Amino acid sequence: MNANPFVILYVEDNDFIRESFAELLATPERRIVPVADAAGARDALRAQHVNLLMTDIELPDGSGLDVAREALRQNPGLAVIVCSGYDVTDDARALGPTAHALRKPVDLDELEALVEKLAR
């Protein structure tokens, strides 16, 4: 792994999806920090530098949008991807210019292209 990998904080409450996507997103240049809820996301954001926050909207202990807003207050340049089974384009737009929306089920090629773009 690189000395300074691109760190992706991936917030998803579904264990299977979280583990599968963490495995799919991991490369020698990327380190994935998978967490299951908003509390875990907040802890991870406090504990380490994150380059990309990828979060589900509906979490068991809150909203992924709230996590994204808090993260962006701390780091306005943070890249954010919000994921939902619903169209959250307007929600992502409201977060600011570094936020992007992906609709579930996520197209893996689209996700990979977006992550590659954000990692540059």
State yes or no: pLDDT of 40 exceeds 60: yes
**What value does the mean pLDDT of the chain take?**
95
The runs of H, that is alpha helices, within the chain are 15-25, 38-47, 64-74, 89-95, 108-119
Quick one: pLDDT at residue 120? 87
Write out the DSSP string of 14-42: -HHHHHHHHHHH-BTTEEEEEESSHHHHH
Residue 2: band (very low, low, confident or very high) from pLDDT cuts 50, 70, 90: low
First to last CA, the chain: 17
Quick one: pLDDT at residue 50? 97
Mean pLDDT is lowest, of 1-5, 33-37, 62-66, 79-83, for 1-5
Q: Give me the residue label for tokens 């909203």.
A: 63
**pTM for the whole structure:** 0.95
Domains present along the chain, CATH in parentheses? 6-114 (3.40.50.2300)
Quick one: pLDDT at residue 3? 65
Kindly report, residue by residue over 66-94, the tens digit of the pLDDT.
999 999 999 999 999 999 999 999 999 99
User: How far is the C-alpha of 53 from the C-alpha of 33, rounded, in Å?
Assistant: 10
